[in-house]
Amino acid sequence: MAKNILITGAKGQLGSELSELFSQYPEFNFIPTDIAELDLTNKEAVASFVSEQKIDYIVNCAAYTAVDKAEDDIDLCYKINRDAVRNLAEAAAGKAKIIHVSTDYVFDGTAVNPYQETDATNPQSVYGKSKLAGEEALWTVCPESLIIRTAWLYSIYGNNFVKTMIRLGKERPDLNVVADQKGTPTYAADLAQAILSVIVHAEKTNAFPAGIYHYSNEGITSWFEFTELIHQLAGITTCNVHPIPTSQYPTKATRPMYSVLDKTKIKQTVGIIVPQWEESLKRCIERM
Ligand SMILES: NC(=O)c1ccc[n+]([C@@H]2O[C@H](COP(=O)([O-])OP(=O)(O)OC[C@H]3O[C@@H](n4cnc5c(N)ncnc54)[C@H](OP(=O)(O)O)[C@@H]3O)[C@@H](O)[C@H]2O)c1
């Protein structure tokens, strides 16, 4: 019988990209939900949904993702990023396998080499702390879960850095962009494909590869270099992009200065090829 895969946060960036892939996986029965269909903060609703729909896998794309707003909106941030994850875990225990999405913000960004899954966490923002608390809640209730930490996510859907830079590039003759924060962008369509590859792998091998995994695109860049390529690929020639240090762009939440993620574990375990960030950006902008 086709396995039932619950997608939460299906109207977000990642959830929308996952939804685009459903037709490529006719062997699965996808059940996409967002807050209107299933509010994850409602413990009873989550429990009955998972049980009544006979869910086999849960891909949790739902989150509170407004990083700066979270600094003032602490209760709601924890309600969604920690308590809702616990609700899912309690509903899934003994029934469904969970693939949960987490973030590079669980790290403090002081590393000089790509972060491995075993590296010490030390979140510097409310958002990062709430996401780490979500990871811990999941392990406590469902230790057989899989967490994928990702970074710098963008897509044709929702609000993200790529869309903002295209808009500002069209509006302004000059743009200052932070050049001393290093990381790797992640095209949500690639991450969506990687998540489904995990499920296919689990079904083929009859073994769910529980644990923490890191996933972003390949390579390393800064927000400044990222913007330069966004403008080039979008054909924006009327905006001068200037590199600035983080100190000249204060934000409410502290971001990691370095958040490159080591992808070795997911590549070796699931056997996926991770595209280079420049190539993925090109594919995304072509779809816009
Ligand atoms: N965006 C990034 O740069 C980034 C970086 C690293 C990791 N991540 C992680 O990647 C995952 C996907 O991020 P994303 O950018 O796709 O997020 P997103 O676009 O903000 O989507 C999250 C979705 O979850 C929904 N949601 C919020 N509260 C909910 C609730 N109580 N019940 C059910 N659904 C709820 C949201 O609905 P509303 O819009 O109505 O609130 C939204 O549709 C998240 O776990 C995030 O923490 C993101």
Q: Which residue has the tokens 């020639």?
A: 237
Residue 150, SS3?
Answer: strand
Q: Is residue 90 part of a domain?
A: yes
Q: Which residue, by CA, sits nearest to atom 39 of ligand 1?
A: 12
Cβ atoms 125, 69 nearer than 8 A: no
Atom of ligand 1 lying closest to residue 65 CA: 20
Helix, strand and coil content of the chain, in percent to the nearest 5, comes to: 45, 20, 40
Q: What is the pLDDT of residues 47-92, one digit of tens each?
A: 999 999 999 999 999 999 999 999 999 999 999 999 999 999 999 9
Q: Are strands 174-178 and 153-154 parallel, antiparallel or unpaired?
A: unpaired
DSSP H helix total and E strand total for the chain: 10, 12
Q: Is residue 210 part of a domain?
A: yes
Give the separation between CA 194 and CA 191, rounded to whole angstroms: 5
Q: Is 213 a catalytic residue?
A: no
Q: Is residue 26 part of a domain?
A: yes
What is the CB < 6 Å shell around ligand 1?
8-9, 11-14, 34-35, 39-41, 61-63, 65, 80, 84, 101, 103-104, 131, 150-153, 158
Q: Is residue 268 part of a domain?
A: yes
Cβ atoms 62, 130 nearer than 8 A: no
Q: What is the pLDDT of residues 262-276, one digit of tens each?
A: 999 999 999 999 999
Mean pLDDT of 131-156: 98
* Residue 248 confidence (pLDDT): 98
Q: Is residue 281 part of a domain?
A: no
* Residue 32 confidence (pLDDT): 98
- Among the listed residues 52, 58, 9, the one whose alpha carbon sits nearest the alpha carbon of residue 30: 58
pLDDT band at 28 (very low <50, low <70, confident <90, very high): very high
Residue 278, pLDDT > 90, answer yes
Q: Is residue 178 part of a domain?
A: no
Q: Is residue 240 part of a domain?
A: no
Give the separation between CA 278 and CA 121, rounded to whole angstroms: 28
CA distances from 188 to 51, 82, 90, 109, 286 (A): 29, 22, 27, 22, 15
Q: Which residue has the tokens 């044709």?
A: 156
- Looking up residue 44, the CATH number of its domain turns out to be 3.40.50.720
Q: Is residue 30 part of a domain?
A: yes
Ligand 1 centroid–CA 116 distance in Å is 23
Residue 73, SS3?
Answer: coil
> Which of 57, 115, 127, 213 is labelled catalytic?
127
Question: 13: domain range?
Answer: 3-159+185-218+260-275
pLDDT band at 1 (very low <50, low <70, confident <90, very high): confident
Mean pLDDT of 232-241: 98
**Number of domains the chain contains:** 1
Q: 44 Cβ partners below 8 Å, 6+ apart?
A: none
Q: What is the pLDDT of residues 174-202, one digit of tens each?
A: 999 999 999 999 999 999 999 999 999 99
Ligand 1 centroid–CA 54 distance in Å is 24
Q: Which residue has the tokens 């959830």?
A: 15
Q: Whole-model pTM above 0.85?
A: yes
Ligand 1 centroid–CA 169 distance in Å is 26
Which of 8, 35, 212 has most ligand 1 atoms within 8 Å of CB, for mutation? 35
Which of 7, 18, 34 has most ligand 1 atoms within 8 Å of CB, for mutation? 34
Ligand 1 centroid–CA 66 distance in Å is 9
Phi, psi (deg, nearest 5) at residue 165: -70, -35
